[in-house]
Amino acid sequence: MTDVRPSIEHVDGFRVAGVHAGLKKDGRLDFALVVSDTPCVTAGVFTTNRFKAAPVLLDMERLAANPTGLRAIAINTRCANASTGEEGVRRAKAMAKLSADALSLNENEVLVLSTGVIGTQLPLDKIEHGVDLAAKSLGREWYAAAAAIMTTDTRPKLASVTIARPDGGRYEIAGIAKGAGMIAPNMATMLAVVVTDAAINVPLAQKALSAVTQTTFNRVVVDGDMSTNDTLLLLANGESGVVIDTAGEYAEFLEGLHAVCRKLAQDIVRDGEGATKFITIHVTGAPDDAAAHQIANTIATSPLVKTAFYGNDANWGRIMAAAGRSGVLLEPERCKLWIMPGEAMELGGIALQLFDNGIPTDYNEGMATTIVSEAAVTVFLDCGMGEGSSVVWTCDLSHDYVSVNGSYRS
């Protein structure tokens, strides 16, 4: 298991900055730059929402045209630049051009990410101010960069690993992310930038990122809403001198990338808007893995399940009802349900069985309440139908979630 740090010290050839451009009214950091000293091999995964934001459309186009020559990413908050028409695309390009000019790059070497309110145009005067400040303060301030991309997040999200090779070589994989609301699979509502100073070719980079996304960012749920701006980027500049080439080297890289992305994805759930609990939904015994994920995701997005957890109510009926409406043909008499305190990947320890053979067990209600009152709870559902399994991470739904989203634009 790769050890993941909740911080980033240094990644060879990368410099970052987080500044206050005036996008947020309270003086908080709101604009970031991530810059490589040399061209990067770049891979990306983007939202599947049909209403893709202007920066997503621009980045998809530039990534397809230049996957080995990208150098920088500019990120703004407060304005999603989504549903903004041709003017929104023009302003996304202008943001890239402003960044490129400040960094002495070609504008096609720059990608842009935006997050915030849908339907508002980018304030280019503030973007220009942010670019100027960030370009002059580039360094190792990864925490500031992570803080500068937050919207309703309450804390920055960072993760990094060091991979040491038997031959003495070593390289870093590090990432920052933002996300707290509008979180749903395909692929969780978030922005994330992962960088590495290892060298890897485009097909392997994209293969690794796509694979890791399926078991990390596509396994988290806060509220079931998918954003217009989801973007996950991987940039590799090769500055460490380590090359990912053989099957063994790729497997090692994949493990490190997965560790970083899993940490970032889980941090998004832990910081879910108004969340008080981190909940693991583990479904086994489904007809196949896809069916297991469908069941787990239905449970994880159920408002009734999520509010029961918030109220410390071990209401197993809501969990089984959600599984029953998932669209997977289940047989109630084959299903078994347990709850456990903490974050568990295997059934064991203090596991309390609530449901078996189509009816509730003779469980202790007080013990059930104690378990669901924990800050972290695991739900195990064995469908008894096959070998399929899946894990989804979610959170509860509290009064504060309504408060945050009821006044999001103010």
- Position 161 pLDDT exceeds 90: yes
Report pLDDT for 400. 59
pLDDT category of residue 50 using cuts at 50, 70 and 90: confident
- Position 188 pLDDT exceeds 80: no
DSSP string over 22-61 = SSSTTS---EEEEEEEEEEEEEEEE---SS--HHHHHHHH
DSSP string over 328-377 = S---GGG-EEEEEES--SSS-SS-EEEEETTEE----HHHHHHHHTSSEE
- Across the range 61-87, mean pLDDT stands at 97
Report pLDDT for 122. 97
- Position 189 pLDDT exceeds 70: no
d(CA 334, CA 320) in angstroms, rounded, equals: 12
Report pLDDT for 234. 98
pLDDT category of residue 187 using cuts at 50, 70 and 90: very low
Report pLDDT for 154. 86
Report pLDDT for 374. 96
Ranges of H-type helices in 119-232: 124-136, 142-148, 202-215
- Position 182 pLDDT exceeds 50: no
Report pLDDT for 183. 44
CB 175 within 8 Å of CB 195: yes
pLDDT tens for 200-220 read 999 999 999 999 999 999 888
pLDDT tens for 297-306 read 999 999 999 9
Sort strands 110-114 and 157-164 into parallel, antiparallel or unpaired.
unpaired
Report pLDDT for 179. 78
Name which residue leads in pLDDT, 114 or 407: 114
d(CA 64, CA 62) in angstroms, rounded, equals: 5
- Across the range 53-72, mean pLDDT stands at 97
Active site residues: 189
Top-level class of domain 278-406: alpha beta
CATH architecture for the domain at 14-270: 4-Layer Sandwich (3.60)
pLDDT category of residue 324 using cuts at 50, 70 and 90: very high
Name which residue leads in pLDDT, 328 or 273: 328
Instruction: Give me 195's structure tokens.
Output: 């960088």
Radius of gyration of the chain (CA): 22
pLDDT category of residue 180 using cuts at 50, 70 and 90: low
pLDDT category of residue 51 using cuts at 50, 70 and 90: confident
Enumerate the domain spans of the chain: 14-270, 278-406
Tell me the pTM.
Answer: 0.92
pLDDT tens for 231-262 read 999 999 999 999 999 999 999 999 999 999 99
DSSP state of 218: G
Rounded to the nearest integer, the mean pLDDT of the chain is 92
At residue 341, what is the residue type? Answer: P
Listed residue (338, 348, 340) closest to 374, CA to CA:
340
In percent, how much of the chain has pLDDT > 90?
80
pLDDT category of residue 274 using cuts at 50, 70 and 90: low
- Position 224 pLDDT exceeds 90: no
- Across the range 137-166, mean pLDDT stands at 95
